[in-house]
Amino acid sequence: MAQRIDVKDLNIYYGDFKAVADVQMEIEPRSVTAFIGPSGCGKSTYLRTLNRMHEVIPGARVEGTVEMDGVDLYADSIDPVAVRRQVGMVFQRPNPFPTMSIAENVLAGVRLNNRRISKGDAQDLVEQSLRGANLWNEVKDRLARPGSGLSGGQQQRLCIARAIAVKPQVLLMDEPCSALDPISTLAIEDLISELKSDYTIVIVTHNMQQAARVSDRTAFFNLAGTGQPGRLVEIDDTATIFSSPRERATEDYISGRFG
Ligand SMILES: Nc1ncnc2c1ncn2[C@@H]1O[C@H](COP(=O)(O)OP(=O)(O)O)[C@@H](O)[C@H]1O
Ligand SMILES: [Mg+2]
């Protein structure tokens, strides 16, 4: 299921403002890549170009290519809705649909895609997705209760269950633990490590320890000053980035000297 991502010469704009410049990046399937860097350097913006969510903002556009297994997501023949199905996204704040039951939350993406499924298949998919998100044992006796009744960490795992229920090839996570307590954070990190065997995962994080714990590769982004575009400074094996990065700016950032 997992796919290789190949980004070439990517420039990302909000109207006239170039938010991110000249990104080149290859991401291997079945790996976790962490994006780190100071606030405002374009991590979220770049992440959203990987599933064509960026362009939903009026005036927002990209130049360059984003290939998944060799197919350019920005080619004219590509349907952005299909891309968003193939590339799931989990956000900073858990956002289950509050009035929907736990089970219906898991199925929400599948229903949006107009996929008709039998009751039995739906039940199987709910169980399989909740098991995949390490949440099944905690909620199996209350699937008909509202998703909003869960703790923050459980809600985030419910959102991950919803994302994987549509069987995406890639999972993008934008600071998925920033609203969670340390125990829930560890549960999500364990889950990411498990999901890696099936998906290509990209995670934005402000937490250096988290990047070091969960990711295989780390990409450091930075910006030269306000009004300047963010740039990818370097990407390498996570162990290398945290022990002997090539660039001085990376070392300064990971050692807490700025950002
Ligand atoms: N919807 C938007 N419209 C215009 N500019 C935006 C929008 N979202 C983000 N930006 C700008 O793009 C730049 C990168 O922001 P963002 O991707 O949120 O950075 P990060 O996630 O690294 O903190 C910032 O200068 C920010 O102000
Ligand atoms: Mg962000």
Express each pLDDT in 62-112 by its tens digit: 999 999 999 999 999 999 999 998 999 999 999 999 999 999 999 999 888
DSSP bridge partners of 65: 8
Ligand nearest to the backbone CA of 21 = 1
Give the whole-angstrom CA distance, residue 216 versus residue 201. 10
- Taking only the tens place, the pLDDT of each residue in 12-71 is 999 999 999 999 999 999 999 999 999 999 999 999 999 999 999 999 999 999 999 999
What integer pLDDT is reported at residue 231 of this predicted model? Answer: 98
Q: Beta 230-237 vs 217-223: how paired, if at all?
A: antiparallel
Positive or negative CA dihedral for 148, 93, 135, 47? Answer: positive
Give the whole-angstrom CA distance, residue 131 versus residue 136. 5
Residue 54 gets which letter from DSSP?
G
Q: Beta 200-204 vs 170-174: how paired, if at all?
A: parallel
- Domain ranges for the chain: 5-96+169-254
Give the distance (Å) from ligand 2 centre to CA of residue 39. 7
- Taking only the tens place, the pLDDT of each residue in 209-238 is 999 999 999 999 999 998 999 999 999 999
Calculate mean pLDDT across residues 174-181. 92
Calculate mean pLDDT across residues 158-176. 95
What integer pLDDT is reported at residue 1 of this predicted model? Answer: 67
- DSSP H or E stretch at residue 60: strand 60-68
What integer pLDDT is reported at residue 6 of this predicted model? Answer: 98
Give the whole-angstrom CA distance, residue 253 versus residue 259. 6
Give the distance (Å) from ligand 1 centre to CA of residue 20. 9
Find the radius of gyration of the CA atoms of the chain: 18
Residue 114 predicted with pLDDT over 80: no
Give the whole-angstrom CA distance, residue 259 versus residue 39. 7
Give the whole-angstrom CA distance, residue 108 versus residue 105. 5
Q: At what angle do helices 102-112 and 119-132 cross, to 10 degrees?
A: 110
Atom 14 of ligand 1 has which residue's CA nearest to it? Answer: 42
Place of tokens 């290939």: 67
What integer pLDDT is reported at residue 233 of this predicted model? Answer: 98
What integer pLDDT is reported at residue 2 of this predicted model? Answer: 81
Give the distance (Å) from ligand 1 centre to CA of residue 60. 11
Calculate mean pLDDT across residues 190-214. 95
Q: Cβ < 6 Å from ligand 1: which residues?
A: 14, 19, 37, 39-45, 57, 230
* Mutation test residue for ligand 1: of 11, 18, 45, 89, the one with most atoms within 8 Å of CB: 45
Fold of 5-96+169-254: Rossmann fold (3.40.50)
